[in-house]
Amino acid sequence: MRPETFQQRRIGLAVIGILVVGILLVLISQIAITGAPLIQIAGAAVGLAVAVILLTSYWYGWQYARHVTVVFFTLLAASTLPEPYVSSQVSFAVLIPPVLALILVSPVWVVGSAVVVLAGILIRSSGQGVYSDPITIVLFGMVVGGMILARIVTDTALRIAEQNAHRADTERARAEQQARELVEANDLMTVQLDQQQQLLDLVATLETPAVPLAEGVLFAPIVGHIDARRAQQLTSRLLHEASAQRARLVVLDIAGVSVIDTSVARALLGTTQALRLLGCKVTISGISASVAMTLIQLGINLDEVTTARSPQEALSRYLTTTAPPIQGKGNGRASYN
C-alpha cells in the first residue's frame, strides 16, 4: 500500500469525522423523535462506537482504518437497512458505503461495496422488491459508474499535477545546477584571465627589462622583433621606470634586434622623444654594421640621437661628463718677513 500524503490523511479524517457526526445525529433522532425500534437504536449505537474507534485509530496513524470503515459500513448497510427501504422503497443510504469507498480507498472498492450492498438487500428481500427492478439496478449502476469515473478523472488529474510538479522541480533543480556551474565556470575563467594577465605582464617585463647600471642610469636591452604592440609596451615601461627611478640617462641597446625597418626605427625614435620629455638623455647602443647600412638605405636620420658602440661606452661617457672636477693644489710660496 502506498503511503498517504498529508492531504489524503486530512480528507480521510474529515470523512470519518463526518460519518461519526451523522451516525450520532441519526441515533439522537431515533431516540428522541421517531421512537424507532430497539434493534435500530442498538445498530446505530454500535455503528457510532465503531466509527469513533476507527476515527481514533486513524488519527494515530493506522492506515487500514479506512478499509475497515468501508467494509464495516458496507456490511452494516446491507444487513440493517430497515423496511420499507428493503422491499418497496429506494433509500439513499445504499450509496453511503460506495461513497466512503470512493473517498477513502479506490475505485475497485467502490464496485465491491456497491455489489455487496445490493446483494445483501436482494438476499434479505428474497430477490423481490424495488432493488430487483432492472431500471433501479441500471440507475444504481449508473450512479456507481459515475462515481468511479469521477474518481478516475480526479486521480488522473492529481497524477498529472504531481508529474508536472515533479517535472517543474526537476527543471528548477537543473536550472539551479546550471546556474551554479555557470558561476563556477565564470569564477574559473576570471581566475584564468587574471593568471593570463599576470603572465602577459611578466612577458612584457621580460621583453622590455630596465636594469639600473648606476645611479640615475637605466639599461634597457631590446631583443627580437619589435611590432606596434611591443613598441607601445616598451615606451610605457621605460617611461614608468625612468620616472620612478628618477633616471637621467636611458641606454637602449639594440644589439639583439635582428631586423630593423622603418616601423622599428620610428618606434625607437618615438621612445627616445618620449623619454626626452621626462628630462632623460637617451643613448642607443649596439648598432651593428648591417643595421647601420639598413638605416642609411631606408633614409632614416639619427642625427639627433646619441649613439654608442656598447652600453659600457655609454656608461663611461655619462660618468665622465657627470664626475665632479678635481680641485688642483696651488704651489704657494712661503713669504718670509
Which stretch of DSSP H or E encloses residue 211?
A: strand 211-214
The pLDDT of residue 324 is above 80? no
Residue type, 268: L
CA distance 127 to 120: 10
pTM, full prediction: 0.49
CA 125 to chain centroid: 69
Task: Reduce the DSSP state of residue 251 to 3 states and report it.
Answer: strand
What does the pLDDT look like over 175-187, one tens digit per residue?
Answer: 999 899 889 888 8
Residue type for 264, please? V
* Dist CA 283 CA 12 (whole Å): 99
Task: Specify the pLDDT at position 41.
Answer: 80
Cell matching residue 295? 638605416
CATH code for residues 211-320: 3.30.750.24
Closest CA to 207 of 221, 228, 193: 221
* Listed range (34-38, 74-78, 138-142, 258-262) with the worst mean pLDDT: 34-38
Q: Taking the CA atoms of 17, 18, 22 and 28 in sequence, report the sign of the dihedral they define.
A: positive
The confidence band for 71, taking pLDDT boundaries of 50, 70 and 90, is very high
pLDDT in tens, 220-273: 888 777 777 777 888 888 888 888 888 889 998 888 877 777 887 888 888 888
The one-letter amino acid at 124: R
* Confidence tier at 1 by pLDDT (50, 70, 90): low
Sorted by where each begins, the domain ranges of the chain are 6-164, 211-320
pLDDT interval class at 331 (50, 70, 90) = very low
User: Phi, psi (5° rounding) for residue 73?
Assistant: -75, -20
